[in-house]
Amino acid sequence: MSHEVLGFDVTADALLEKAKRDGAETMWDRKAAMKASCGFGEKGICCKNCSMGPCRISPVEGKGAQKGICGATADTIVARNFARTVAAGVSSHSDHARDIIHVLHMASEDGNYKVKNPEKLMKLAKEWEVDTEGKEIYQIAHEVAEVALMEFGKPFGTQRFIKRAPEPRQKIWKDLNIEPRAIDREVATILHSTHIGCTSEVDSLMDMSMRTSLSNGWGGSMMGTEFTDIVFGTPTARSTEANLGVIEENMVNILLHGHDPSFSEMVVLAAEDPELMKLAKDNGAEGINLVGMCCTGNEVTMRHGVKIAGNFYQQEMAIVTGAMEAVLVDVQCIYPALPKLAECYHTKFIATSPKAKMEGATYIEFNEEHALDITKKIVREAILNYKNRDRTKVMIPQQKSKAMLGYSVETIIDHLDKVVNSQTDVFETVKPLSDVIWAGVIRGAAGIVGCNNPKVQHDNSHITIMKELIKNDIIVVTTGCAAQAAAKAGLLTMEAKELAGRGLREVCERVGIPPILHMGSCVDISRILDLVSRVSKERGLDNSNLPVVGVAPEWMSEKAVGIGTYVVSSGIDTFLGITPQVTGSARFVDILTNQLEDKVGAKFFFEEDPTVCAQKIMERIEEKRDRLGI
């Protein structure tokens, strides 16, 4: 079993040994069976866009096939594959957002879904010029939701939220003709343009990739965040615990895994039902213990403090503990292997989304009309399964760490208002943040985001880079599975300020924040865009002028490629700890890591060694500071 990449994880070894004893197959067995990954796929030079192929281009220049049967070169094939990956990532995030908007569209005073944050709704109505005069809140909600739904398919115009970007950034997009239009249109256009016999021009494919990615960053994802906050509340700072040690020996354990809070929020509500709580006790348990994983875990922890069982690579380990009564999933990042693994234990694996039906799963379809009834039924199934737990097969690791999270932009500004802005009587501004960066107390900021990937030691890249940066006075904001890695490592605590440099430590003490701020799920990278753009606007600059970077140390999903592309297109350099599947085209690599800077003022960096990556990030931040003369 090749799981040496787990050396960093203190819970892994014993559980993997247990999996072996239990006859349970894990990703590490499958990775070992995979032997080597496909060299053509790895470099992005396999084309299966038509059935004359698949065509594989020789990775050696001048030797073997240099073109596909249609004549597509390695450059074209790599660029087309990249574009399609971006389109898939954009679809996932934006389709998730669409579901949340539908939830607001059906929200009502006496329904399962309500407007939890009317102030945010009214702000958005104003921003989008929706007439609110004399209308009650739910009518406004429905009208705003309708406007949002049009952002997916409107025939004319560009995404509404691009006006939130600094003006110089908007001009760059306009001049390059990459202002994002309707989301579905951008995705369809990419699929069309990468069909055989359409675009072969590499720069054009890159431009289309950027435009499509922006329709997510400043469209789908941003709407996802806004509407989630309107329906379920804007996250505020709160504490929780993280790692597999949050699973309880004497409780009904339910794992929430996936992404969409319209499902997980209803499970949280169902688990608070007095009848179900009594049923749990009647079945011999002390209560119901909800725990989260991946981005749905982030959503429910930052609004309710639901404990975090772990991040992406721990989804199998949570089941191997033998103490999980049910795994409830909706969409994205769920291994198809889980239902089979659950069969090795008493665990019920319940799929709920028609968008992600899974072989071997119990399927209980979730729909928003009967949301609470369905989630109550599901929680009941989990409770009734408690008696089936085989105590001889239970092994729960002890490890867990405390964490502070829920730092939405509003919460960060609220902290600044209370301790700094109140002295100047200028509220709701990020000026104090930009002031400490300009003064050099903090050298810059990094958004560290993304997944786990068995190509590198799990969580190690996240944690190494985070520690190195805060030590050197670079404040970190984080989302996704990277944020959960930080939570498990104890880095989302006030005590973690002791690991920070003097300047950052002082800021943490003064403002009352940890040196690493958990800002939510992957969709919430839009919060980071918002924060960076506020600082740019405050200084009258563009994002590309600021000493800020994006980092995805262990990314693996198509969504991550879409995100990285919109972050760079938004003027923020992005460091990737896993090299994307583009190295079959030196020209495309040069576009990503060099030429993009001339176009959009930012570029990608590929660096797999986390220590070297941190060093390069710091050099880039200092370079940006030099250019600003600060």
Q: Cβ(70)–Cβ(197) under 8 Å?
A: yes
**Closer residue to ligand BF8 (CB): 416 or 465:** 465
**Closer residue to ligand BF8 (CB): 141 or 295:** 295
**Closer residue to ligand BF8 (CB): 259 or 603:** 259
Q: Does residue 312 bind ligand BF8 (CB under 6 A)?
A: yes
Q: What is the token pair recorded at 573?
A: 């350099």
Stretch that binds ligand BF8, among 408-416, 510-518, 555-563, 592-600 (CB under 6 A): 555-563
Out of 480, 490, 520, 550, the only residue in the binding site for ligand BF8 (CB under 6 A) is 480
Stretch that binds ligand BF8, among 268-276, 345-353, 533-541, 557-565 (CB under 6 A): 557-565
Q: Does residue 96 bind ligand BF8 (CB under 6 A)?
A: no
Q: Is 259 annotated as a binding residue?
A: yes
Q: Cβ(559)–Cβ(94) under 8 Å?
A: no
Q: Is 70 annotated as a binding residue?
A: yes
**Closer residue to ligand BF8 (CB): 322 or 564:** 564
Closest CA to 341 of 28, 19, 24: 24
Q: How far is the CB of 269 from ligand BF8 (least distance, A)?
A: 22
- Tell the residue number behind the tokens 């702000």, with chain if given: 123
Q: Does residue 300 bind ligand BF8 (CB under 6 A)?
A: no
- Tell the residue number behind the tokens 């002295």, with chain if given: 423
Interface with ligand BF8 in residues 209-268 (CB under 6 A): 259
Q: How far is the CB of 31 from ligand BF8 (least distance, A)?
A: 16
Those residues with Cβ within 8 angstroms of residue 439's Cβ, 6 or more apart along the chain or in another chain: none
Pairing of strands 307-310, 362-363: unpaired
Stretch that binds ligand BF8, among 176-184, 281-289, 535-543, 554-562 (CB under 6 A): 554-562
Q: How far is the CB of 15 from ligand BF8 (least distance, A)?
A: 19
Q: How far is the CB of 509 from ligand BF8 (least distance, A)?
A: 30
DSSP 421: I
Q: How far is the CB of 187 from ligand BF8 (least distance, A)?
A: 18
Phi first, then psi, for residue 309 (nearest 5°) are: -75, -30
**Closer residue to ligand BF8 (CB): 299 or 607:** 299
Q: How far is the CB of 450 from ligand BF8 (least distance, A)?
A: 5
- Tell the residue number behind the tokens 């109140």, with chain if given: 422
Q: How far is the CB of 458 from ligand BF8 (least distance, A)?
A: 11
Interface with ligand BF8 in residues 505-524 (CB under 6 A): 521-522
Out of 121, 178, 333, 592, the only residue in the binding site for ligand BF8 (CB under 6 A) is 333
Phi first, then psi, for residue 438 (nearest 5°) are: -65, -35
Helices and strands in the chain: count of H runs, count of E runs:
27, 16
Dihedral (C-alpha) 236, 411, 296, 251: value to the nearest 10 degrees? -20
Q: How far is the CB of 560 from ligand BF8 (least distance, A)?
A: 6
Q: Does residue 578 bind ligand BF8 (CB under 6 A)?
A: no
Q: Is 613 annotated as a binding residue?
A: no
Q: How far is the CB of 481 from ligand BF8 (least distance, A)?
A: 3
Q: Cβ(408)–Cβ(235) under 8 Å?
A: yes
DSSP 511-565: HT--SEEEEESSTTHHHHHHHHHHHHHHHT--GGGSSEEEEETT--SHHHHHHHH
**Closer residue to ligand BF8 (CB): 480 or 564:** 480
Q: Does residue 481 bind ligand BF8 (CB under 6 A)?
A: yes
**Closer residue to ligand BF8 (CB): 40 or 312:** 312
Q: Write down the H helix ranges in 10-54.
A: 12-21, 27-34, 39-43
Q: How far is the CB of 517 from ligand BF8 (least distance, A)?
A: 16
Closest CA to 11 of 377, 319, 405, 397: 397
Q: Does residue 24 bind ligand BF8 (CB under 6 A)?
A: no
Q: Does residue 559 bind ligand BF8 (CB under 6 A)?
A: yes
Q: Does residue 557 bind ligand BF8 (CB under 6 A)?
A: yes
Those residues with Cβ within 8 angstroms of residue 601's Cβ, 6 or more apart along the chain or in another chain: 172, 542, 543, 544, 545, 571
d(CA 444, CA 190): 35
Q: Is 55 annotated as a binding residue?
A: yes
d(CA 396, CA 57): 49
**Closer residue to ligand BF8 (CB): 202 or 294:** 294
Q: How far is the CB of 314 from ligand BF8 (least distance, A)?
A: 11
d(CA 329, CA 308): 15
Q: Cβ(318)–Cβ(293) under 8 Å?
A: yes
- Please count the residues of this chain forming the interface with ligand BF8, following the rule CB under 6 A: 14
d(CA 551, CA 286): 42
Out of 208, 295, 404, 576, the only residue in the binding site for ligand BF8 (CB under 6 A) is 295
**Closer residue to ligand BF8 (CB): 151 or 330:** 330
Q: How far is the CB of 333 from ligand BF8 (least distance, A)?
A: 3
d(CA 46, CA 43): 8
d(CA 19, CA 24): 5
Other CB atoms closer than 10 Å to residue 241's CB: what's the count? 18
Q: Cβ(327)–Cβ(255) under 8 Å?
A: yes
Q: Cβ(386)–Cβ(324) under 8 Å?
A: no
The enclosing H or E element of 477 equals strand 474-479
Interface with ligand BF8 in residues 424-463 (CB under 6 A): 450-451
d(CA 497, CA 486): 13
**Closer residue to ligand BF8 (CB): 80 or 458:** 458
**Closer residue to ligand BF8 (CB): 491 or 535:** 491
Q: Does residue 294 bind ligand BF8 (CB under 6 A)?
A: yes
Residue numbers of the site for ligand BF8 (CB under 6 A)? 259, 294-295, 312, 333, 450-451, 480-481, 521-522, 557, 559-560
- Residue ranges of the binding site: 38, 46-47, 50, 55, 70, 259, 295, 333, 451, 481, 522
- Residue ranges of the binding site for [4Fe-4S] cluster: 38, 46-47, 50, 55, 70
- Residue ranges of the binding site for [Ni-4Fe-4S] cluster: 259, 295, 333, 451, 481, 522
